[in-house]
Amino acid sequence: MVICETKVINKTGLHARPAAELSSLAMQYKSSITIKNLSRNGIEANAKSIMRVLTLGISQGMQVAVCADGVDEEQAVHQLIALIDSGFGEV
Amino acid sequence: MAEETLQGKPVSPGIAIGPVFLYTHDEIDVPQDQIQASDVARELSVYAEACEKVGAEILEIIQRTERQNEADILNTHMLLLNDFEIAAQVRQGIENQRWNAAKAIDTAFREVADMMSAIDDPYLLQRAADIHDIRHKLLRQVLHIPAKDLSTASGILVSNELYPSDFKQFDRKRIAGVLTEQGESTSHAAIMARNLGIPVVFGVRDVTKKMRDGEIAVINGSRGEVILAPTPATEEKCRRLYSVYQKSEAVKRQYLFKNCATKDGQPITVEVNAGSLEADFEKDCKCSDGIGLFRTEFLYMESTALPDEETQFRAYRHVLQAFAGKPVIIRTLDIGADKQLPYLPLVKEENPALGNRAIRYCMANPELFRVQLRALLRASVYGNLWIMFPMISGVEDYHNVRDFCDTVRLELEACGIPLSNSIRYGIMIEIPSAAVMAEELAGIVDFASIGTNDLTQYTLAIDRVGRGVEPYYRPLHPALARLLHHISTAFSTQGKPLGVCGELAGSPEGALLLTSLGIRQLSMDSSKIAGVKYVLSQFEAGELDMIGAYLLKAENEQRIWAKLREELAAHNVISTDQDLQG
């Protein structure tokens, strides 16, 4: 299992398009992947479900953790964190 | 029925008049009956089939749309439709609860929407509308309820609520305006609505109950107003306004991407005001000479904690890169007791406009100010950065902030961080004392920009939000004209750039006044650019000087208004902004 933390920097947070991009990317991996909102009591969700990701209510400035478990866990966490850090083209 | 004016939220500007086309989303009656064990397979396939059809429907719209922001919204819908967690909930409803497909869909999607509405987050509240959009589409498929045909809709579309996908169902050449009871200006529906380029008003309570199909209504998207059952006189007035508006919009459009110049070719710098990263910077960059005012307050106000250096750095780098070498004037934090931050309560003041705000607050909180300056200086290598300090009262204020800024610069240099050598430092002139001291200030700063809103407030001792004193707020008071002229002369003598970034610069009268007083750099909301370029192209530089000389002798505001209006009319400038805004 691989876990990595980062801060969400893009303006709109993980709402709509950025959430869509995140869950689309997560779906490309075999590992089971969860995303945690550390700024809202650590509530977590399956990163492959856009609906679940949306309901975490992740806004700009919040701290999140991405956690993957499976054959491609390294790669999955690395790429998902990179996507969040890129600011989804908004910053 | 008597004429009635209702107020809503302005979403997209303009005026439209025409017959009402009512389109309501009635809540669909969902059958509640249980199913037999033997029906489970059938209901599951009913659901699967509905998903497929709705998916094809959304895909078809995605292929038709030309705009990226619309495609993004619809792609999100596609993902929500196929979300395996929601799908699992629907299937569970059918298999375990023995609900019919419609009830299982309705329950699952409602639960998700309720969950989103329950979280204290304005963005998510709007996403609930997206969920309902999909829920309705699925239910219509399952229950074989044909959608009300919008393709033949014409005139003014009136609805209780429009979902994002509704905006792709009608022919935009036939629809003159849109009016709804529900909806926020931050919603996906609002984005789709603005793309149409027609007047749109949201949030007019009970409007579908007050209107009937075919009745004439007027919608004013600039003011967020709708007039029901207009009297013949009102209708006539609005029709005239509409035709003038259409004509002036067409004329203005031709000027949007032209360089701004007087009739005899003297150039005038036109810049945009910006205060977020959401603007269309690509277009703004093409139609302007740079950013004349980039407000940084949004970084602080839309955040749940003080924005750190990295977050600010990325924001500044983004806007500097977007303007590719054109000047970007970034104003340091202008916050005070009237603009509170949730995580940083400021001491309540009797008179916040005269209190601990802007650089006064920043200098008293050097740690907070240092973070912003570090981020700005680090971003300087990505473009043409001009740093502007607000609320400077005179020479000593400027020296103090510059000294502090230089210390921060030395810190960064000591760490070997690359910084631009061509950063320009300037001030907002908004306090009358700074206006009076313009000559001395022009000698030490690289540039200045006049904030006419605050300068008016402070010069006339008039509270901009004060009730009962509105008649005393006179942005064209001759005292202001003379102050502006004094500042303008001081800066042009020293050859230093001087702009105006207040609201005044974006109106036809204001642009004419400012250029007449010798100011050659105007910054405004991007929606005002085409109009100002058009107005100024109608005057020769010599004419502007003559108008300026006249205005400087005026003894009251009325004379100034009258002269400006008269000159605009004499130069065939058709202006509807004033009428639309009322």
Average pLDDT over residues B501-529: 92
Q: Per-residue pLDDT tens for B296-313? A: 988 887 777 889 999 999
- C-alpha distance from residue A71 to each of A1, A27, A77, B37, B416 (Å): 9, 14, 12, 39, 42
Q: Per-residue pLDDT tens for B209-258? A: 888 889 999 999 988 999 999 999 998 888 888 888 888 788 888 899 99
Considering the domain architecture, whether residues B311 and B210 belong to the same structural domain is answered as no
Answer whether B124 sits within 8 Å of A57, measured CB to CB. Answer: yes
**Pairwise CA distance, residues B216 & B206, whole Å:** 17
Considering the domain architecture, whether residues B213 and B307 belong to the same structural domain is answered as no
Considering the domain architecture, whether residues B182 and B93 belong to the same structural domain is answered as no
Say yes or no: A13 contacts chain B, CB-CB below 8 A.
yes
Average pLDDT over residues B123-143: 88
- The answer to whether residue B54 sits within a structural domain is yes
Answer whether B76 sits within 8 Å of A39, measured CB to CB. Answer: no
CATH number for the domain harbouring residue B54? 1.10.274.10
- The answer to whether residue B242 sits within a structural domain is no
Q: What is the pTM of this model?
A: 0.66
Instruction: At B358, give phi and psi (nearest 5°).
Output: 50, -130
Say yes or no: B344 contacts chain A, CB-CB below 8 A.
no
Q: How many domains does chain B have?
A: 4
For the range B358-365, what are the long-range contacts, defined as Cβ-Cβ under 8 Å and sequence gap of 24 or more? B358/B332, B358/B333, B358/B334, B358/B389, B358/B390, B358/B391, B359/B332, B359/B389, B359/B390, B359/B391, B359/B392, B359/B397, B359/B401, B360/B391, B361/B333, B361/B335, B361/B336, B362/B332, B362/B333, B362/B401, B363/B400, B363/B401, B363/B404
Write out the DSSP string of B179-205: EESS--TTSHHHHHHHHHTS-EEE--T
Answer whether A20 sits within 8 Å of B79, measured CB to CB. Answer: yes
From B402, B427, B452, give the residue that closes a domain.
B427
Considering the domain architecture, whether residues B441 and B543 belong to the same structural domain is answered as yes
CB contacts, 8 Å: A87 with chain B: 314
Domain that holds residue B130: 37-142
Q: Per-residue pLDDT tens for B446-457? A: 999 999 989 999
- Which residue matches tokens 């007039």? B227
Considering the domain architecture, whether residues B394 and B451 belong to the same structural domain is answered as no
Considering the domain architecture, whether residues B277 and B183 belong to the same structural domain is answered as no
Answer whether A57 sits within 8 Å of B307, measured CB to CB. Answer: no
From B403, B427, B451, give the residue that closes a domain.
B427
Which residue among B123, B277, B305 places its CB closest to the CB of A90? B277
| Active site annotation includes B501 | yes
- The answer to whether residue B124 sits within a structural domain is yes
- The answer to whether residue B291 sits within a structural domain is yes
pLDDT score, position A42: 87
B285/chain A closest Cα distance in angstroms:
17
CB contacts, 8 Å: B130 with chain A: 16
Say yes or no: A27 contacts chain B, CB-CB below 8 A.
no
Which residue among A11, A46, A54 places its CB closest to the CB of B116? A54
**Average pLDDT taken over every residue of chain B:** 90
Considering the domain architecture, whether residues B582 and B448 belong to the same structural domain is answered as yes
Q: Per-residue pLDDT tens for B136-188? A: 999 999 999 887 778 888 899 999 888 888 888 888 888 999 999 988 776 78
Considering the domain architecture, whether residues B51 and B180 belong to the same structural domain is answered as no
Q: Per-residue pLDDT tens for B339-389? A: 677 777 777 777 878 888 999 999 999 999 999 999 999 999 999 999 999
CATH number for the domain harbouring residue B438? 3.20.20.60
Which residue among B79, B119, B314 places its CB closest to the CB of A91? B314
Answer whether B85 sits within 8 Å of A49, measured CB to CB. Answer: yes
Write out the DSSP string of B484-504: HHHHHHHHHHHT--EEE-SGG
Considering the domain architecture, whether residues B507 and B371 belong to the same structural domain is answered as no
Considering the domain architecture, whether residues B413 and B437 belong to the same structural domain is answered as no
B452-B455-B458-B459 Cα dihedral, nearest 10 degrees: -100
**Pairwise CA distance, residues B303 & A59, whole Å:** 8
- The answer to whether residue B570 sits within a structural domain is yes
- The answer to whether residue B202 sits within a structural domain is yes
Q: Per-residue pLDDT tens for B31-67? A: 998 999 999 999 999 999 999 999 999 998 888 887 7
Considering the domain architecture, whether residues B209 and B223 belong to the same structural domain is answered as yes
- The answer to whether residue B241 sits within a structural domain is no
pLDDT score, position B466: 57
**Pairwise CA distance, residues B354 & B458, whole Å:** 9
- Tell me the pLDDT band of B337, cut-offs 50, 70 and 90: low
pLDDT score, position B467: 65
Which residue among A9, A52, A60 places its CB closest to the CB of B85? A52
**Pairwise CA distance, residues A41 & A19, whole Å:** 20
Domains detected in chain A: 2-89 (3.30.1340.10)
Considering the domain architecture, whether residues B397 and B340 belong to the same structural domain is answered as yes
**Pairwise CA distance, residues B252 & B197, whole Å:** 14
CB contacts, 8 Å: B80 with chain A: 50-51
- The answer to whether residue B79 sits within a structural domain is yes
CB B159 within 8 A of CB B180: yes
Quote the percentage of chain B above a pLDDT of 90.
Answer: 63
